[in-house]
């Protein structure tokens, strides 16, 4: 980069002409010219091997101006590179320069000189050669040039959703997204189920999204509805070959998807989970997810894993963010156990209460899974890990006596009434002390447990009824009285709302 500079150049006509004549006379070819309107300098680039000759030629041609002090000096800077951003679609499109230079600024790349030719189809800039690969990579990424459908001059600011799992929650989310109407920033681009993947880089239309949800709800598979029979891994790879805008993978499965989620992070996806498994599995898996996201500047949100749509993790985050210290979290986070225990506390036999819960569809096929407390313990572990808990997975106290655990399901159900008397005794002993039994998870930064507790009848946990969830936060500021969030903590619509709030939070920032 050769520069002719001098405050005295201003208003002296012909310096540009003399400069380029001299360079041309020396048999040198100029690539890019840089001159800003102050006219106090004019620069151009040429191959490094020609720079000494150019300097020499210019000093000779401009020796009178140099002697008179009109020009301060003719200098050259080596080790620089010119990068050109070229495209026919650039002309007349505002914002291209902003994207180019914002991408460079985000990488801390210093721009030495800029030229956008008046054809508007080319922006060239000079950077140190050591910054050139990073600069090229950043601009490349900003326009997604390596992707199919990339290179669009129009900036897109929406969020593209890839939905992993198209069961009840996935379909409720699809309906909620589709009912937002156009231009609200969220667009479904891919749906995945066990059969395969339905992908549309242009976005699945709202109408089609509703139709797919309805037909899948009636038993069709995504492959049957036009998808490709490929694995989730293959599907992610396919999506990430295309130019998508701020892609988010939403995991509504109930499997250990850790490896797939790690790949998605590496491919540039943010993550929203309703799936507890990857968060409440091994500490090593959890930490890999969190550390990988942090290293790649990606986000993971999972409000819906605890309390469905209730703002529990969000409240935990806001307390911490405002400088409060969370001392203890307690909660009833199993709707099924809540229903059974509040009925039992009101005098209903245990077997009846569980029978009602089964009739109402609150239970897993084998209700021992609900009674095991494992699901509540997983939610406790998720809350605890957000507080920094690094211990082992909590043991959940099971409400199924050891002798009934090995039985076949039918035999277990027959034997249920044999538990009623013990429950009745337990409840009346507690009632005499003003207490009721509740299945409670208790969480601190150093401890998590899940089990049956006797709580005051008039306390927030004790006055809980039916399937409602309740989580209370004791903090430095909420020390004498806790902050309490409660409400229904399950169901496909509410779980989908929790996911949608996470997606919208990602879209904002």
Residue 183 interacts with a copy of itself (CB under 8 A): yes or no: no
Strands (E), 107-156: 113-116, 122-128
Give one word for 466, left, alpha or beta, with left for phi > 0 and alpha for psi -120 to 50.
Answer: left
Q: Which of 53, 70, 82, 452 binds a copy of itself (CB under 8 A)?
A: 82
Per-residue binding string, a copy of itself, 434-473, x by CB under 8 A, is: ------------------------x-x--x-xxxx-----
Residue 33 interacts with a copy of itself (CB under 8 A): yes or no: yes
> Nearer Cβ to a copy of itself, position 5 or 404?
5
Q: Which of 51, 54, 58, 125 binds a copy of itself (CB under 8 A)?
A: 125
Cα 452 versus chain centre, distance: 36
Residue 359 interacts with a copy of itself (CB under 8 A): yes or no: no
Residue 154 interacts with a copy of itself (CB under 8 A): yes or no: no
CB atoms within 10 A of CB 340: 30
> Nearer Cβ to a copy of itself, position 21 or 447?
21
Residue 113 interacts with a copy of itself (CB under 8 A): yes or no: yes
Task: Please name the residues in contact with 55: beta carbons below 8 A apart, sequence gap of 6 or more.
Answer: 2, 74, 75, 76
Residue 111 interacts with a copy of itself (CB under 8 A): yes or no: yes
Q: Which of 8, 30, 158, 228 binds a copy of itself (CB under 8 A)?
A: 30
> Nearer Cβ to a copy of itself, position 35 or 336?
35
Question: What minimum distance in Å lies between the beta carbon of 71 and a copy of itself?
Answer: 13
Give the separation between CA 455 and CA 433, rounded to whole angstroms: 10
Residue 320 interacts with a copy of itself (CB under 8 A): yes or no: no
The one catalytic residue in 352, 379, 435, 474 is 379
> Nearer Cβ to a copy of itself, position 18 or 415?
18
Q: Which of 129, 146, 179, 418 binds a copy of itself (CB under 8 A)?
A: 179
By rule CB under 8 A, what count of residues binds a copy of itself? 109
486-505: which residues touch a copy of itself (CB under 8 A)? 486-488, 493-494, 497, 500-501, 504
Residue 118 interacts with a copy of itself (CB under 8 A): yes or no: yes
Catalytic residue list contains 276? no
Task: Please name the residues in contact with 334: beta carbons below 8 A apart, sequence gap of 6 or more.
Answer: 370, 373, 375, 376, 439, 469
> Nearer Cβ to a copy of itself, position 142 or 260?
142
Residue 412 interacts with a copy of itself (CB under 8 A): yes or no: no
Give the separation between CA 53 and CA 82, rounded to whole angstroms: 20
Q: Which of 51, 62, 74, 124 binds a copy of itself (CB under 8 A)?
A: 124
Instruction: Note whether 245 and 156 are within 8 A (CB).
Output: yes
Instruction: Note whether 308 and 490 are within 8 A (CB).
Output: yes
Question: What minimum distance in Å lies between the beta carbon of 27 and a copy of itself?
Answer: 8
Q: Which of 70, 101, 240, 404 binds a copy of itself (CB under 8 A)?
A: 101
N-term to C-term CA, the chain: 39
Give the separation between CA 424 and CA 422, rounded to whole angstroms: 5
> Nearer Cβ to a copy of itself, position 52 or 237?
52
Question: What minimum distance in Å lies between the beta carbon of 342 and a copy of itself?
Answer: 10
Residue 34 interacts with a copy of itself (CB under 8 A): yes or no: yes
CB atoms within 10 A of CB 433: 10
Within 231-311, residue ranges assigned H as helices are: 232-240, 258-266, 283-296
Residue 416 interacts with a copy of itself (CB under 8 A): yes or no: no
Token pair for residue 123? 């922006």
Q: Which of 62, 100, 212, 225 binds a copy of itself (CB under 8 A)?
A: 100
Question: What minimum distance in Å lies between the beta carbon of 153 and a copy of itself?
Answer: 12
Give the separation between CA 261 and CA 188, rounded to whole angstroms: 18
Q: Which candidate, 318, 312, 436, places its Cα nearest to that of 379?
A: 312
Residue 104 interacts with a copy of itself (CB under 8 A): yes or no: yes
> Nearer Cβ to a copy of itself, position 246 or 415?
246
Pairing of strands 186-193, 159-164: parallel
Pairing of strands 300-301, 41-44: unpaired
Residue 119 interacts with a copy of itself (CB under 8 A): yes or no: yes
Residue 158 has, within 13 A of its CA and on its CB side, a CA count of 16
Q: Which candidate, 101, 90, 204, 104, places its Cα nearest to that of 154?
A: 90
Residue 237 interacts with a copy of itself (CB under 8 A): yes or no: no
Residues identified as active-site: 379
């Amino acid at each position: 980069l050769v520069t002719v500079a001098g405050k005295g150049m201003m208003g002296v006509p012909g310096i540009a002409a003399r400069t380029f004549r001299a360079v041309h006379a020396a048999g040198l070819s100029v690539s890019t010219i840089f001159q800003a309107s102050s006219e106090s300098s004019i620069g151009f680039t040429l191959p490094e091997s020609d720079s000494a000759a150019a300097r020499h030629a210019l000093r000779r041609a401009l020796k009178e101006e140099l002697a008179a002090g009109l020009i301060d000096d003719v200098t050259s800077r080596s080790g620089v590179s010119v990068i050109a951003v070229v495209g026919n679609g650039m002309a007349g499109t505002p914002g291209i320069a902003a994207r180019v230079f914002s991408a460079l600024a985000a990488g801390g790349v210093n721009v030495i000189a800029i030229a956008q030719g008046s054809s508007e189809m080319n922006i060239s800039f000079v950077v140190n050669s050591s910054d050139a690969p990073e600069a090229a990579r950043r601009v490349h990424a900003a326009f997604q040039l390596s992707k199919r459908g990339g290179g669009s001059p129009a900036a897109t600011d929406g969020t593209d959703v890839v939905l992993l799992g198209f069961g009840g929650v996935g379909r409720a989310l699809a309906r909620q997204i589709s009912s937002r109407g156009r231009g609200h920033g969220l667009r479904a681009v891919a749906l995945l189920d066990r059969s395969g993947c339905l992908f549309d880089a242009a976005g699945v239309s709202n109408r089609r999204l509703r139709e797919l949800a309805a037909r899948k709800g009636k038993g069709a598979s995504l492959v049957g509805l036009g998808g490709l029979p490929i694995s989730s891994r293959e599907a992610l790879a396919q999506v990430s070959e295309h130019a998508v805008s701020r892609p988010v993978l939403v995991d509504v499965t109930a499997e250990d998807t850790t490896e797939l989620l790690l790949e998605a992070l590496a491919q540039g996806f943010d993550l929203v989970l309703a799936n507890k498994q990857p968060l409440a599995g091994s500490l090593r898996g959890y930490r890999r997810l969190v550390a990988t996201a942090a290293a790649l500047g990606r986000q993971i949100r999972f409000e819906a894993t605890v309390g469905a749509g209730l703002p529990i993790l969000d409240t935990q985050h806001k307390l911490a963010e405002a400088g409060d210290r969370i001392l203890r979290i307690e909660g009833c986070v199993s709707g099924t156990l809540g229903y059974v225990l509040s009925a039992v506390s009101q005098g209903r036999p245990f077997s009846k209460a569980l029978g009602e819960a089964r009739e109402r569809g609150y239970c897993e096929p084998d209700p021992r899974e609900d009674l095991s407390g494992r699901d509540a313990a997983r939610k406790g572990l998720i809350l605890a890990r957000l507080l920094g808990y690094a211990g082992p997975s909590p043991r959940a106290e099971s409400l199924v006596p050891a002798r009934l655990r090995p039985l076949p399901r039918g035999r277990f159900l027959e034997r249920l009434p044999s538990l009623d008397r013990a429950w009745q005794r337990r409840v009346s002993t507690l009632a005499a002390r003003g207490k009721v039994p509740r299945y409670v998870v208790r969480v601190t930064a150093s401890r998590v447990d899940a089990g049956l507790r006797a709580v005051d009848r008039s306390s927030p946990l004790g006055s809980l009824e039916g399937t409602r969830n309740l989580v209370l936060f004791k903090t430095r500021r909420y020390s004498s009285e806790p902050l309490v969030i409660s409400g229904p903590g399950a169901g496909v619509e509410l779980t989908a709302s929790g996911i949608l709030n996470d997606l919208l939070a990602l879209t904002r920032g």
